[in-house]
Structure 1
Amino acid sequence: MLNTKIHIDDPFVKLITRLIESYANIDEQKINGSTEGSFFINEQWIKAMALVYKRYVLLQAKTSSFLDSTQSSSKKARLMRLIGKSRVDSNFESKPEIPWFFKIHKNMGENDWKIMREDFGIHVNSPKRNSQTNLIPVPLRCWEEGNIPAKILDFLRSSLCISQPSPIQMQAIPIILSGRDLVARAETGSGKSISFILPILMRIAHDGKVELPRALLVAPTQELTRQLYGVATPLAEKIDIRCILTIGGESIQSNASDIRRGAGLIIGTPGRIWDLVEGGWLPFTEVKMITIDEADRCTDAGLIENVQKLIHHSQKQVDTSAQLLFFSATYGESMKFIKEVVRSDALFVQIEGSSRNIRQLVELVGDNPHETVTRLVHRYIRSYEAPIIIFCNSRESCEALLARLDAFDVAGTVLHAGLSSNERQRIFSDFREKKTPILITTDALARGIDIENISLVVNFDAPTGLEALARYIHRVGRTGRGGKSGVACTFVRKSDEEFVRTLRRYLTECDQPIPRDVDKICGKNASVGETLLIS
């Protein structure tokens, strides 16, 4: 069994590793009531299980000297903070509750599902005011609980290397399979595409032989539709479902011909799909699902008209209106339109981001790189303890910044995809061991950097492009990890106004206060050198 005499200052990740290592020695008969369907934990869950461990640590508390009466009240108080939301009584005399991840599905109670959602940062409510959210479909703890076709399950694990569902997949898949409308928000890179493509294909397959389109998948750009098509096609082939890509610039007659040959899922941009509907080439009689990816952009000016037409056309069908699914990393003004069109029992799923414990700063700088580096050194680098991560938008920018920092006698190193594997490994190891205080890197490696106690993240270059907000979230998420606090500062220039507007919309949806100085940047009224507190 797990040794409970673990020093309470040890990192939770290490505790979870020990838990997983001891799993083979746990008496499943006593925990589950039977060995049938026992829930398997693998190492990919270590970080998520760190929160769960706060409850599990008391399973043996009754017999452990870890909590004997000789301990000081201050140590007990520290332990209670460590335990957090434990369901064990404070006198430690009641029977400890078995954690949800050691229970088979049929033994899971309402409170177990609630705790699981909390552990994975899953929040479910209704986008409509005064709407009931009773009977929320329970999330998936593992793929096997989703009744996923064997061929697809094997493809997920062997080809896509997705051994366990991500938080958005855990909750979105059961809701979609239930037939309810869904509005989902999760960061880019969280597995959103699989979370709607998989259940869409499963529902199409469940309805039997496909002759007419059963589902529409709408995305705002040709690039994104091609990407979604690339994700959907290999999955669809496993269960004999045909997908069609429809985008502007290609022959609409060719699209019509493809549809006539039979297709279950139509993937395309709003304008091209509506052209096919309006021209009578895409029949709506069997369309049961409409999914809008990047919903905030699809409901922006220029695209919303065609999206509205598709949804309203669906709602005019004699049988029943289509199930509506909206996915995005951000929602702003688009939420008003979405609330108007979804059904009364619709659900809103939100996955917690990574920046809740992060103090985020935005500072407007000029075009003189020497002045910007001077500010970086004196205001930030010399004010925070190592380790510090600085993000740039290119390899060249990383190298140039390193040279300028050297002029200030500031030690640092560069890490980007242009280096050899051995070089990257050595640099990363030196930084992790605090032999190098500052790491300058690019977005290419932002998601792979997982170092404890990062005190400061600096975006020397503000992220750009269509996924600027997603890159921002991944960057700042390098600090404030494991429940600790952190600071992130982003240098923005006048040319970054579009990014600041996107960031403002994101913070609004997150119910974070918007400083008036951010509005000044959007209105180009801020002065150089002004520091803006975001949260």
Structure 2
Amino acid sequence: MDEDQLDAVADFAALELRPELLRALSGLGYEEPTPIQREAIPPLIAGKDLVGQAATGTGKTAAFALPLLQKLEAGAQDGPASLVLVPTRELAEQVSQAVHRYGRELGVRVLPVYGGQPITRQLQVLRRGVDIVVGTPGRVLDHIERGTLQLGEVGTVVLDEADEMLDMGFAEDIEAILAETPESRQTVLFSATMPPRIDAIARRHLRDPLRIRMGRDTAAADTLPKVRQTAFLIARAHKTAALGRVLDVEAPQAAIVFCRTREEVDEVTQSLNGRGYRAEALHGGMSQDQRDRVMGRLRGGSTELLVATDVAARGLDVDLLTHVINYNVPSAPEAYVHRIGRVGRAGREGAAITLAEPREQRMLKAIERLTGQRITPEKLPTVTDLRARRLELLRTTVRETLEDEDLERFRPILDLLTDEADLERVALAGLKLLNEANGGDVDEPEIPTAFPPREREPRDRGKPGGHRYPNERRPRGNTDDTTRVFVGLGRRAGLRPQDLVGAITNESGLPARDVGAIQITDRFALVEVPEGEADRVIRSLQKSTIRGKRPTVRRERFDR
């Protein structure tokens, strides 16, 4: 490694990484480790088990990938040396690509395995041999059951975004996979949040783990995500207009707008494009090629707004994001943490803005309790505010143009105009034309202010005379009314609750926490979903396969 390369990654060199990794980091433009990398890399190289609480965007992929590569002896064994479990196909691809970039000089053989991809290619690569497998729990377990993935020689298992995997119903799969690995393995767990069930997994499967928390207690103030968190109370009928108003005032460089459902994503995208924004949709109904093209346009700057569901946006890593906007309050506080971790990186300030209906204030309070941070309620910008903002942007544009060096070519025009009118009036006319070119004066109706509703007594949401099932969960979505969906697969087909939750979440975009009671019989299953989402869930499941089969899916009938 030459002197310039060594200087560029001097801080990484202090972590005693092998030269091949230092050269790769230098070539990728890495200059110094992030806090999670400084804390995690040395003990992981030393073989310690570790529990790390770190949000998206803190550099945790490199924090576990570099130690895996540091200890790698390519081709030294038949089965993989390391296994990384992740919740989604997008994250599997992202982690796999990162491992490949870091370990290029080491000749690392890394394979992503996930559903939705032909399994024949994965089988071919596994037969040739791999060093590191990155996969979703369902597909990894599928390979184990087929006998095509042997984990008897795995030295390290990484559970990345463990809270997301549990939310998607993968707890049993994770337990089954860990049972196939040696007891002497090193186990690493990363999670944005640490609910009790994550701690339970750590106590059960990790040996005297080192615990790292990237938060107020461990990170320096200047390394914490700088995110301005605000909320606007908006009646549902005015939500779309309010979103446009907020975007007009904020003028983000690049933003993600999170929606609950595919249909909502498409509606919001169409509305924003009609308002003059360059917006792209991203949801589970799109092919991987379509998603890749959308992300390429966002990273390339030809798209400024991404409208997405949580499921579709998992694993996305876009450094230039300045704003995250919640079109609805996330039904799970943990989802909010994952979302805001995408902005405020590398010392830059970001903004997290939530459009909340008045009845969702309690959900905002739950988020505040989890994060320990205040979400500031603000009054929606008025038409006057928007006009002032546009004039401010106009002034900024003119100021920046004053620095240009090619202004003299316009002097002949200025001389002619000042022969007919004074200089001040000419300047005002120019400003007027520029303002009109940028959309002109705002002529929009004011958006009504939403007032919080009076507190109501909680309603009993139990079903009189109904049965509770072991896997029952109560929906926390946007409605109190629920219905049950019939799925024509049951225990005889090997159906498990996590299969249903995973299919519903990935295919319809419905958050896992909005899936309610699940009943599985020998021949069929019933799953409770919010009434307002039932038709979408049914349409999505009718187009998908579960346990390799395409089942009958419809609303529950009461004439059986």
The TM-score normalised by the length of structure 1 is 0.49
The TM-score normalised by the length of structure 2 is 0.47
